[in-house]
Chains A and B, each alone.
Chain A
């Protein structure tokens, strides 16, 4: 049984999800030979540390660590001080400067800890740098949850499609935009009405700009460009158009002619824009689904779809990444 001591940095929606998935899948993880222990959880209030492993149920109802933390250290200091093998970095994302996640990931990798993250910001700002730091320190940086949530995209390309040249990736990478456009088309809602519905359901943020202006999708495009295509793309290199100007009449007109309108991100062309998607295309998925078509030289075009966000869904991608770190290392001997 391999003991895996995990430091969880960030205690928001995804952080709660990670604790929950580790609890629910405890037996299954043990049957894979992994004894996963979350030894510390940190947020801005401090760090809860227990070297025997924190009981996730203890934190189930807690929104923050206020009054629960037993160590007065946070962030990089907590990563340094706690003896762990792997850091799960799930703090709020910032696509402009990448902080605080960027500092956390740098610190963890340079202290020889594997990192699994759902935080796009650090990877958008400094993917190639972070990958270099991971290599120098002989540890792994995994980030499946940053693109397409639970939809397996990066691992699909890196593992199952290995040997293929990836010619292009095109898809819907933002469930909020997809939900809004789907409702506008189905119910003939205006953009602003569909947005308020999405906000009421918790699908869209109070400040929706990050989603509806295509910023989130562009961040994912940058991550794919750098990780899959070996580019050195920055956020500024992506040509971005969001969905605010889409009208129900336009959606209806497109529908009559056999098309949906979807916000599509493309790599390596580095574009994010609303596009006409034929109704029968595999990319024509509705609701909050994400979808990606991968064009390859040997395998043709492969399309995957799945839930792009959500606490448990994102956490499932994180836990899969953790498992893959240890199972692939076993093969390496």
Chain B
């Protein structure tokens, strides 16, 4: 099972290596380690995000091991959604069944609408919605966008995608 953990390390040598030790001990397969040295917390610790695959029964052991070594575990849990994208919709967003629009993404199983903001300037005027979609990978982000394009065409909504979604 793929999980992720947010840690806070002291900014002293050897901390990162020490934080990885329990993953070896409990047979975790590390997918990625992101060490945010440039984004220190107010109390001077360094945030680290580790994504790994492991038998979920071992997660508590890892947490305990880390905490015994003075490493702060901020969050640990399932993290299937590793990619995200912002999309804007313009048109009769609400009256074209916004619930359905969101559900088309959520029902895929590989992506979810995680954040939603609406602007409704007047009853007959077009409204705007900002959606942040998270998905299990880049390909799934692409699939979510194509679902939204399809929904946009069907419901007469203008779908505005970000330029970073795909290479030129």
A binding-site residues for B, Cβ under 8 Å: 167-170, 241, 245-247, 249-250, 252-254, 256-257, 259, 261, 264, 266-267, 269, 273-278, 281, 283, 293, 295
Contact = CB atoms under 8 A, between A and B. Distances in A.
A250 B168 contact: no
A250 B163 contact: no
B14 interface: no
A167 B161 CA distance: 20
Given A241-B158, A249-B128, A293-B168, 12 more contacts: A246-B90, A247-B121, A249-B119, A253-B128, A253-B130, A257-B130, A259-B86, A259-B162, A266-B168, A274-B158, A274-B160, A277-B162
Interface string B2-36: 00000000000000000000000000000000000
A281 B163 contact: yes
B84 to A, nearest CB: 12
Contacts of A275: 160-163
B127 interface: yes
Nearest to A254: B88
Size category of the binding interface on chain B: 20 to 34
A252 B117 CA distance: 11
Contacts of A252: 119
Given A249-B119, A269-B168, A295-B168, A261 B160 contact: yes
A134 to B, nearest CB: 28
A295 B127 CA distance: 35
16 contacts: A245-B90, A247-B119, A247-B126, A250-B128, A253-B88, A253-B119, A253-B129, A253-B130, A266-B168, A269-B168, A273-B161, A274-B160, A275-B160, A276-B86, A276-B162, A277-B162
B137 interface: no
B88 A250 contact: yes
A169 B168 CA distance: 7
B119 A277 contact: no
Interface string B81-94: 00000111011000
B38 interface: no
B95 interface: no
Nearest to A269: B168
B128 A277 contact: no
A184 B43 CA distance: 42
A168 B167 CA distance: 8
A-B residue pairs, 6 tightest by C-beta: A168-B168, A249-B119, A250-B128, A276-B162, A170-B168, A295-B168
Contacts of B91: 245
Contact of A250 (B160, B162, B167): B160
